[in-house]
Structures are given as structure tokens and as C-alpha cells.
Homo-oligomer: A and B are copies of this chain.
Amino acid sequence: MARRSTNGMLEFAVLGLLHEAPMHGYELRKRLTAVLGPFRAISYGSLYPGLKELVAAGWIEEATDPAATALTGKRARISYNLTAEGKEHFASLAGEAGPTNWDDEPFGVRFAFFSRTREDVRLRILQGRRSRLEERVSALHDSMTRTRERLDDYTLELQRHGLERAEREVRWLGELIATEEHRQRTSPPDPRPAASH
């Protein structure tokens, strides 16, 4: 079990995507790009070795296409599907709500798989992200109002814009949190994530 695995985010996202359906590497990469955003797309040089490690860890399995394989002798494409351990492992990753999830990129990935995340964990992640951003807001605010340590006009403008963006995201998170809290109050206390097969 668990040999030392790829990166957290790649692992998490691949496992999450394979819940939908088995996929081969090339397609996985496209879906990954949709989740991570086209500006931090993963390269094949990262993806394929990563998949190998997930196989070695026992979380996914290779499967060559049933029919057309040995028949033609041609190299068939490899489909990956989740194992039971993989599902379990994903569920355990999805249950963590620690500060690792509050940075920009991890948060985005975690958020993208919120529908497979328990409600209470969702809420804690949103709140953690928000307080992280509130820290950023007040740090920027301080840095800008300290008249000592004169900053470049352009640096200042950059900070002003960064501050506005952070404040905007705080508001956005506020709305999401309100929605989640409302959902929790009104829906029956269902402790199970929507993930069974």
C-alpha cells in the first residue's frame, strides 16, 4: 500500500476524474487541463510517470481495450480505472480540510471536486480559504498604508489591484459559504457523500 506517490494535486485530480469513467492518459490530460486551467496544464512527461506510480500504489489499474488488441498486434491504448483502494484513498484525501488546501492552486483543485466532498469539509475548506485571503487583504492593506518604505508607483498599483482582487474573492467565498450553510440547515442531516456506485 501507498509507495510514495506523485504529487498531491495530480494524484487527487486523476483519482477524482476516474470516478466518472475509465480514461486513457491522453484524454485524462485534456480533462485535467479543463480542471487545472489551460495555464497550468500538466505535461505528458509528468502525467505518464505519475500514472505509473498510481498503478504501483494500487489506486488505479491499466486495462488494454478488450477486442481490438491482440487481434491486430498493434499497440492498444491503455485505459485506467479506479480500484477499490483508489476510491478509498480519494475519499480520505477528500476528507482532509487542512491548510494545505488554502493556497491558490490546491484550493482550485479541491473546489473542482467539491461534489465528491462531504458538506462539512466543503465548508471548512471555504472558511479556511477565506481567512487565508483575509490575511492577505490586511497584509496588503498594511503594506500600502505604511508611508515609510516608499514603494515604486507601479508596485503600489499592483498591490492596489491585488488587494481589490483579494477583497472580491473574499466576498465570493462569503456567498458560497452562505449557500453551503443554508444547504446544511435545510437539507436532512445526510452524512454520506454522494459517492456510492
Contacts and interface: CB of A to CB of B under 8 A. Distances in A.
A151 interface: yes
Interface string A59-86: 0000000000000000000000000000
A38 interface: yes
A92 to B, nearest CB: 20
A104 B103 CA distance: 16
B112 A158 contact: yes
Interface string A165-178: 10011001000100
Interface residues of A, number: 31
A46 interface: no
Given A115-B153, A153-B115, A165-B165, A158 B108 contact: yes
A113 B152 contact: yes
The A contact surface, by secondary structure, is helix
Given A34-B143, A165-B168, A168-B165, A154 B114 contact: yes
A144 to B, nearest CB: 11
Contacts of A153: 115
21 contacts: A34-B143, A34-B149, A34-B151, A34-B155, A35-B155, A38-B136, A38-B139, A39-B104, A108-B158, A111-B158, A112-B152, A112-B154, A112-B155, A114-B154, A115-B152, A115-B153, A115-B154, A157-B176, A161-B169, A161-B172, A165-B165
